[in-house]
Amino acid sequence: MAPKAKANKDTEDEPKMQAIVLADSFQTRFMPLTSVKPRCLLPLANVPLIEYTLEFLAQSDVVEEVYIMCCSHSGQIQEYIDSSKWVNLSSPFKKIQTIASKESRSVGDAMRDLDSRSIINGDFILISGDVVTNLDINQALENHKNYKQNDRDYICTMVLTQAAPMHRSRSIIEPACFVMDKTSNRCLYYQDLPPINGKKASNLKYYNNLIDCHVDICTGAVPTIFQENFDYQTLRSDFVKGVLSSDILKKHIYSYITKDHYSARANLWMEFPKMFLRDGQAYPIVPERNLLPDQTYTYSSQHIYKENNVILSQSSKLSSSVIIGRDSFVGDKTQVSHSVIGRNCKIGSNVIIENSYIWDGSIIEDNCILKHAIVANNSIIKKNVILNPGSVIGFGVIIDENVIIGNNQRIIRSPMKNSNSSTRIASEDEDSNNEETFSSVDLSVRDSSVVGMNGIGFLYENTEYQNEELGHIVYEMAELNFSDASIASSTVTLHHSKKKKRSHSSASGFISEDEGENFDHEAIATVERAMENNHDLDTAMLELNTLRMSMNVTYHEVREASCLAMVKRVNHFIDTDTLGVKGACEKIFNKWGMMFERQVFDDADQVDLLLTLQSICNRIDGDNKSLIFVNIAIVLYNIDILDEDNIIAWYNTKESKEMPEIRSKMSKWVEMLENDSSEEEEEGFSDDE
C-alpha cells in the first residue's frame, strides 16, 4: 500500500495545466470597430470570438487555470468574463482571470509581463483569443510530454493543421514555410516565405500547407526566453525563428500536425466569411449547440439557424447558410443568403443580403442591397442604400436614403480628434472604451456624400493598410467558398481613379482587373515581409519578379506596390518615433530602393517612379509628406536609381504641378540640380526644415 500512497501524492503535487489567452492582436486590421470593442468580443455567428477559444480549452479537460492577457479594452473584457458562464461553479476552470497588461504593445511585451508576474508554474497552453477550432488537443499534449521527457532542450510544441494550399480557412496574410524533421516533427526552420534555395534532404520535410492558429504547448522556459531577449516582439517571426537560429539558446521546438480537424483565426475581415460555422464543418462547434446560456438556435434544412421569436414575412426567402438571432424581423420579398443577422434586427422589404453580417439592434430599411458587408450594432441603413463589397459600417452609424457605399469603405460614427486637434484613429492596441485615442497613420474625413445629408458617420481611411483596399480583402464568398476572384465584378456602382488606371493597363497589357488587384495585395505583402524579416535583397527581387510574370502585370504595377510598402514602413518608423524623417527614408530606401534597379529601365520609368511616389506621399496625413518625398528622392538619386535630367523632367510635368504641396520642397533641390551643384544635394533635408 505504501507505493500506491506515494503515487497518489505525486499526482496531487503535479502542477495544474494553465492556459494563457492573448486577447490582443497587436494589429489595426479590424479598425475602426476595435476602437470601440476589442476584437475578441466581436461576434462570429452571434457569439463573441473569445467564447470559441474558451470552449476549446474547456473541451481539453486538462486546463484548470486560464489567464487572459489584455491590453486594449481590458475593462470590457473583464466585465464580459465576470458575467459569463466561465465564472460559475459549474465552470470547468478552477480559475479564470483577466490580466491588464496596458503597457504591452506586442506579444513579446505581454510574455515579458507574464514572466514578471510569476504566474506560470509549469507547462501551459498559449493561444490567441480569436481561434475557432474543433481540435482535440489531448494527443498534442501526449506528444508534448514525450518531447519533454526525451529532449532536455525541448521548450514548445506548435499545434498546426494541414490543409490544401488554397484551403478556405488559410489566412492570406500570414503564409509561412515550416521545415520539419520527418521522424521527430522537430521544427528546424521557419520562414514566412518559401525556402530560398529549394534544396531538399531526405530527412527533411517542407510544409507550406499548414494553418497556424497560434496554439502552442509551452514549458515554463518560454516566458523566460522572451524576458531575456527584449527584441523578440512576435511569436513566430521573432521567437520561433530566433530560437531555431540561435547558437546560444540551443533550444528545440516541435510541431503537432493534424489533418482531421478544423482550425482558423478571425484575423482579417475576410476571415469572418471564411469561417465554416454555418456549414457544420467545424462540428461540434455549430450554432444549434448554443454556446451562450441564453441562446436558443435550432437547425432547419439548408443550414438555416433561427432563435426563438424570429418573425419572417411569408414572402421572404432564406437561402443556404443563414443565422438569425432572437426578436429579429425580416420583411416582404427580402432575400438573405450566406449571412448572419443578430438579435433585435429589423430587415425591411425587398432587401437583398448576401454574405454579410448584421449585428445586434441594427435596422435595414426597404430596398437595400448588402453584399459582403458588415453592419455593426445599432446602425441604421435607410431606404435604397447599397453597401458594396467590403463595406464596414461602424457602431451606431446612420446611412441616409439612396446612398451608395463604395468598395472597402469603412464608416465610423464620430470623428476622432487627439489633443492637438488633428484627426486620427485609435489602434486596436490602445486602451480605450471610446473613440478618442489615435494612431498617426490613420485619418478620418467627413463627407456628406458618404453617409448622406441626414446620415451620421465619417469615412475612415487607414493609410497603413492601403494594401487591403488594393487587394480587395473581402473576397467572393458564395456558398462560403473562398475564392481568388476579385469582388469588383459584383460592385453595384463605384468609380475610382485606381480602377480607371487599371482598365487602361488591361487594354495595353492584357491584364484582367482581377489579376491586377490580386497582384497589388500579394506584391505589397511580399515587400513588407522582406523588410520586416530583413530578407536577402536578391531573393526579394526574385520573388517580386516571379509574381509579376505569373500575373502578367506591368512594371508600373510593380513599382507602385513597392513604393506603397516602403513608404508605409517609413511612416511607421516616424510615427513610433523610432527615426526621424531623414533617418527613416535612408534606412528603408538605401537598401530596399535598390529593388528599383529591376523595375526602372529608362527615362520614362524614372519619371513614372517619381509621380508614383508623389501620389503616395500626398495621401499621408500630417506635415511630413513633403519631407518624406524629398528625402526619398534624394536617396534614390544617391543610389543611382534617378538621374538629374529625369528629376527635372518630373518637376516640369503637368501631373507633378497638380500636387503643389509635395512639390514645394523639391524646388530648392531641383534648382541645385539645374545649376549642376552636387554637394548640397547629397546632404538631404533635415527633419526640422
Q: Give start-end residues of each CATH 1.25.40.180 domain in the chain.
A: 495-682
CA–CA separation, 52 vs 132, rounded Å?
Answer: 5
Say if residues 630 and 647 touch (Cβ distance below 8 Å): no
CA–CA separation, 548 vs 544, rounded Å?
Answer: 6
| DSSP-derived secondary structure for 250-298 | --EEEEEEESSS-EEE--STTHHHH--GGGTTTTT--GGG--STT---E
CA–CA separation, 306 vs 272, rounded Å?
Answer: 19
Residues with Cβ within 8 Å of 675's Cβ and at least 6 positions away in sequence, in order, are none
Residue pLDDT, tens place only, 427-441:
444 444 333 333 333
pLDDT of residue 213: 73
If we measure between CA atoms, which residue out of 125, 127, 131, 134 comes closest to residue 59?
134
Examine residue 32 and say whether the peptide bond preceding it is cis (omega within 30 degrees of 0): yes
C-alpha torsion angle, residues 111, 112, 116, 117 (rounded to 10)? -30
In angstroms and rounded to an integer, the radius of gyration of the C-alpha atoms of the chain is: 26
Q: Give start-end residues of each CATH 2.160.10.10 domain in the chain.
A: 303-468
pLDDT of residue 468: 42
How many residues in the chain?
689
Q: Give start-end residues of each CATH 3.90.550.10 domain in the chain.
A: 17-265
pLDDT of residue 657: 85
Q: Which one-letter DSSP state was computed for residue 425?
A: B
**Could you give the 3-state DSSP secondary structure of residue 554?**
coil
CA–CA separation, 255 vs 156, rounded Å?
Answer: 8
What are the residues facing 254 on neighbouring strands? 157, 186
pLDDT of residue 467: 42
Residue pLDDT, tens place only, 171-195:
444 555 666 666 676 767 666 544 3
CA–CA separation, 16 vs 117, rounded Å?
Answer: 17
Cα distances (Å, whole numbers) of residue 83 to 40, 87, 94, 179, 194? 16, 8, 16, 44, 45
pLDDT of residue 77: 92
CATH 3.40.50.150 fits 17-265, yes or no: no
Pairing state between β 17-22 and 63-70: parallel
CATH 1.10.3720.10 fits 495-682, yes or no: no
In which residue ranges of the chain is pLDDT below 50? 1-13, 165-173, 193-204, 273-274, 276, 278, 417-446, 463-516, 677-678, 680-681, 688-689
What are the residues facing 341 on neighbouring strands? 324, 358
User: What's the grid cell of residue 11?
Assistant: 499526482
If we measure between CA atoms, which residue out of 378, 317, 326 comes closest to residue 353?
317
Predicted TM-score (pTM) of the model is 0.60
Q: Measure CA 527 to chain center.
A: 16
The phi and psi torsions of 23 (rounded to 5 degrees) equal -75, -25
If we measure between CA atoms, which residue out of 572, 582, 683 comes closest to residue 631?
582
Q: Measure CA 174 to chain center.
A: 9
Residue pLDDT, tens place only, 311-354:
999 999 998 789 999 999 999 999 998 899 999 999 999 999 99
Helices (H) and strands (E) in the chain, counts: 21, 36
pLDDT of residue 9: 45
CA–CA separation, 75 vs 71, rounded Å?
Answer: 10
Pairing state between β 404-405 and 263-265: unpaired
pLDDT of residue 368: 95
Q: Return the ∠ at Cα 220 (arms to 214 and 226), rounded to 5°.
A: 65
Examine residue 165 and say whether the peptide bond preceding it is cis (omega within 30 degrees of 0): no
pLDDT of residue 163: 62
Say if residues 244 and 238 touch (Cβ distance below 8 Å): no
| DSSP-derived secondary structure for 217-234 | EE-THHHHHHHH-TT--S
Q: Which one-letter DSSP state was computed for residue 375?
A: E
CA–CA separation, 186 vs 443, rounded Å?
Answer: 45
At the topology level, CATH places domain 303-468 in UDP N-Acetylglucosamine Acyltransferase; domain 1 (2.160.10)
Say if residues 396 and 378 touch (Cβ distance below 8 Å): yes
**Which residues in 355-501 belong to E strands, given as ranges?**
357-358, 363-364, 369-371, 374-375, 380-381, 386-387, 392-393, 398-399, 404-405, 410-412, 442-445, 458-462
Dihedral sign, CA of 625, 569, 127, 165? positive
CA–CA separation, 499 vs 501, rounded Å?
Answer: 5
Sheet with strand 380-381: strands edge to edge:
311-312, 329-330, 346-347, 363-364, 380-381, 398-399
Residue pLDDT, tens place only, 19-56:
999 888 776 677 888 888 888 899 888 999 999 999 98
